[in-house]
Copies of this chain bind each other. A is one copy, B any other.
Amino acid sequence: MKDCIHYGNCEICCCEKTPSLFDKLSKTEFEALHDQRKEVVFKPGEVIFKQGTALTHFACFKEGMAKVYHERPEGSNILINLVGSGKLCGSIGLYTDNVHHATVQALTDVKICLISAKNIEKLLTQNNDMAVDLITNKNESIIELTNKLANLTYKSMAGRVADVLLYLQKDIYKSDSFDLNLTRQDLADLAAMTKESFIRSLKEMKDSGIINVNRNQINIINLNALLLISEK
């Protein structure tokens, strides 16, 4: 356990991998935030935030992985993204309607720090660097969402499946081989298709030697081929 860069040696604080937001705080500001944090752990499947409920706290992810999905009235979900260590989560309702706009559910054992939204709001009106950092973060989200929108609406199945695999490889597991902690349904929700279609498309890629699939273990053999499929 390395020392906390903000606050001496705080082995249970949310800051070993802190959202960049908090790097902008003064020592005093950070200490105040740190002291009021609530650390909570979740088991796989447990819901961290439920879409539609009041936004009272933000989550800083310390350990583990969670899925963020938008629930639709008829029961279908769209999986927006995955979040892990160092990510801030739950700030979309801030200054708008103060409710959560997505459900966040643990995929592994998860450890988060809950930070009161009221406190964040207060800091944002005091500390410009922090506000600017949040704007940056928001713009990044908008860029990602716009790309996702374009990809999901205009690419065919194979391209969307390739995109999911590339997302997992590049942004999540940071390796060509990884053990999923997502079900096929989750993967399909990420690609906006049915699980049957996802499985078939995955099998095709396996049969043509681009990837190897063994239960929840995925191995990308030919990254270039995958990138090519994603282009189309």
Question: Which residues from chain A sit less than 8 Å from chain B, CB to CB?
Answer: 70, 72-73, 76, 78, 80, 91-96, 101-102, 124-129, 131-132, 134-136, 138-143, 145-146, 148-150, 152-154, 192, 231
Measured between beta carbons, the chain B residues less than 8 angstroms from A139 are 91-96, 138
Listed A/B pairs (29) with beta-carbon separation below 8 Å: A70-B149, A72-B150, A73-B231, A76-B154, A80-B146, A80-B149, A94-B139, A95-B135, A96-B139, A101-B142, A101-B143, A101-B146, A124-B128, A124-B131, A124-B132, A125-B132, A126-B128, A128-B128, A131-B131, A131-B135, A135-B135, A135-B138, A138-B138, A141-B142, A145-B146, A149-B152, A152-B153, A153-B192, A154-B192
CA distance A127 to B131 in the complex (A): 10
- Do A145 and B135 contact each other (CB < 8 Å), given the known contacts A124-B128, A154-B72? no
Copies of the chain in the assembly: 2
CB-based nearest B residue for A129:
B125
B-side contacts of A142, CB under 8 Å = 92, 101, 138, 141-142, 145
- Least Cβ distance of A193 to chain B in Å? 9
Smallest beta-carbon distance A161→chain B, Å = 15
Give A126 to B131 CA distance when docked, in angstroms.
11
CB-defined contacts of A192 to chain B, threshold 8 Å: 153-154
Inter-chain contacts of A141 with B (CB < 8 A): 138, 142
Q: Which residues of B contact A140 (CB under 8 A)?
A: 96
A29 to chain B, nearest CB (A): 14
CB distance from A164 to the nearest CB of B (A): 14
Q: When A and B form their complex, which 4 residue pairs have the shortest distance between CB atoms, in order from nearest?
A: A138-B138, A131-B131, A95-B136, A153-B192
Which residue of chain B has its CB nearest to the CB of A76? B154
> Which residues does chain B contribute within 8 Å of A73, judged by CB atoms?
231
How far is A94 from B148 in the complex, measured between Cα atoms in Å? 20
